[in-house]
């Protein structure tokens, strides 16, 4: 199980990550390119779950390099990783932090960082 503290620690280890705000929620970027953001469910999202219990907050959205990578991550069956209708045709996945393990969270954040970081920064990253 990962925590918000784990999230903060992992992001602090990635070069040039800054925290900002997007739609009133914390978001993290590298050189103004988004990596991840906290993403609460909207009323419409909750309605789409119907009788199913939605994943528990906090929910983290993480960008993927492209839709192909998104499908690969979803197919990997990592506990806590999912998507919703709102994210159809958008290269990002959602994570239930109370379910995903810390190492999987780190791997997904590093992949998002590598996809967003400019080559001069990514080439020097050894993590």
Tell me the domain boundaries of the chain.
Answer: 4-55+64-87+105-116
pLDDT at residue 57, as a whole number: 96
- Contact between 91 and 69 under an 8 Å Cβ cutoff? The reply is yes
For residues 11-39, give the mean pLDDT: 96
- Using 50, 70 and 90 to split pLDDT, how confident is the model at 125? confident
pLDDT at residue 124, as a whole number: 87
pLDDT at residue 79, as a whole number: 97
- Using 50, 70 and 90 to split pLDDT, how confident is the model at 112? very high
Instruction: Render pLDDT for 70-83 as a digit per residue (tens, 0 to 9).
Output: 999 999 999 999 99
pLDDT at residue 24, as a whole number: 93
In whole numbers, what is the pLDDT of the chain averaged over residues? 96
The model's pTM is 0.95
For residues 57-67, give the mean pLDDT: 97
pLDDT at residue 11, as a whole number: 97
Q: List Cα–Cα distances, 87 to 54, 117, 126, in angstroms.
A: 15, 22, 31
Instruction: Please give the Cα distance from 73 to 65 (Å, whole number).
Output: 11
39-54 as b/e: b if 16+ CB within 10 A: bebeeebeeeeeeeee
Is the pLDDT at 127 greater than 80, yes or no?
no
Q: Sign of the CA dihedral 29, 20, 38, 105?
A: positive
SS3 22: strand
């Amino acid at each position: 199980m990962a925590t918000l503290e784990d999230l903060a620690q992992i992001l602090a280890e990635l070069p040039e990550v800054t925290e900002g705000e997007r739609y009133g929620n914390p978001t993290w970027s590298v050189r103004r390119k988004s990596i991840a953001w906290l993403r609460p469910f909207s009323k419409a999202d909750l309605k789409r779950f119907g009788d199913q219990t939605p994943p528990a907050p906090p929910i983290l959205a993480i960008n993927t390099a492209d839709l192909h990578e998104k499908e690969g991550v979803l197919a990997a069956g990592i506990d806590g990783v999912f998507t919703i209708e709102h994210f159809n045709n958008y290269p990002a996945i959602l994570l239930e932090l109370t379910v995903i393990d810390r190492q999987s969270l780190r791997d997904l954040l590093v992949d998002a960082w590598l996809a967003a970081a400019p080559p001069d920064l990514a080439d020097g990253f050894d993590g």
